[in-house]
Amino acid sequence: MRKSNKYIIALCLACFFRCSDATDPNILALVGSTHVTTNEFVDAYSNKLIQNQVKDSEFERERTLNDLIRTKLFAEAARSNDLGLDSSALNLIKLSTESALRDALYEEIIGSKKIAVSDSVIRQHFQWQHTEIKLRHLFHSDQEVLDTIFTKVQKNPEKFYTFAEQLFKNEELKNSGGMLGWIGYNTLDPNLEEAAFSVPVGIVHGPVRSSYGWHIIVKEDEKKEMIVGEYDYQVSKKKLGALVSKKQSQIIANNSVNDLMTSGVSIKDSLVFKILGQINFVVFEKKILNNNLKDSNKEKIINVVQDLKLNKNMVLATYPGGTFTVDNLLNNLRNSNTGKFLDDPIQAFYTALRDEILTSKALEMGLTNNNSVQMKIKSAEDQYLAQRYLLSLSPSNAKKYFSQKEIAEMTVALKKEITVTIYNKNMELLFSNK
């Protein structure tokens, strides 16, 4: 099942949620000093439905909730036994905190007001749902760069190949003239999607703003499903309308975020290229060549790594209220996809810088105290504390596997010591359409 389907399932579950008088509507269960939240349940249950291909049922819902409660019990046991977290866990919790802050910033920008979507707009998206487009693009983070290119490409679309060689680091995009191939609905960034599906075939269009930069696009061809009628539209209208509303909200948020990225941000380009080159060398040699390294290359890697460590405080970019250093970049890249970095190091840099600026803005706005952020931090802590508790049960503190019987016995014992309160009304309302 495609990744987008997971997003839709999670969105639908979240949209079904309603308030309860019993307690905070975001809490499904209290376990000692911690809790199971609706966000945790939606994530866990969505993954179960998709990855295990199980059907939704009262039994599966209850089992998922009990699994989450069990994790909380282990976390509470770790707290009562004064079991701390190692530096690796603390670093991962820090990353979870930063991610939660960025999510809260998006919500703050969008606000609670739901964007109304007209029937004509929903119908347009319905048509796009049953369409595939063959798309070519050029990308740059700076609009002015594409502004100067646009008129040249508009007069002669064959120049896509010339500029693709100049702009892209990815070899496939460089050699194909920025060809993205056949693309379906709900795949692209919302703003880019709207432009790409709307523009007539063969017309060079842009620059178009996405959440990560600017694009010049040309739709070379399109394929439409012909046997789609009014009945199909009416069946999907309500769910599709909610999705389109979400997309419109995301466009608003992305535009605000992009304004942050262009307002007072200064990047030391030559220094960035040098540092990215060093990182690229180390990552490529270690990941791609692995154990086939020559002694001379091993020595060079050691020297490059030492150089990066010595220059970890070197400033690569500045933004209002802060700086982005080599150390900030390395910390972000350690927890990102290595393959994506090798494909496009420059894009990886901009993503890392973007995350840093958004996190800084969220902190400036005091969103650390946001209830949703606090719940997500607590959830991350619970995950690692639960693991720490299980490891503590092994004399050598080594990894140990427990049987289902052992896990069940530990859970029963802990429930005698730790109070568990389940809010069934909140669970019912989570799946209610009313």
Residue 53 gets the label, from left (phi > 0), alpha (psi -120 to 50) or beta, of left
Longest dimension (CA), the chain: 76
Write the DSSP assignment of 324-336 as a string of letters.
Answer: EEHHHHHHHHHTS
Name residue 215's beta-bridge partners.
139, 208
Residue-wise pLDDT tens digits, 371-398: 889 999 999 999 999 999 998 887 665 5
For residue 228, the cross-strand partners are none
d(CA 73, CA 69): 6
- Position 288 confidence tier, pLDDT thresholds 50, 70, 90: low
Which pLDDT value is given to residue 13?
A: 41
Choose between 287 and 369: higher pLDDT: 369
pLDDT digits 0-9 by tens, 396-424: 655 567 888 989 999 999 999 999 999 99
Mean pLDDT check: name the lowest of 17-26, 120-129, 261-270, 315-324: 17-26
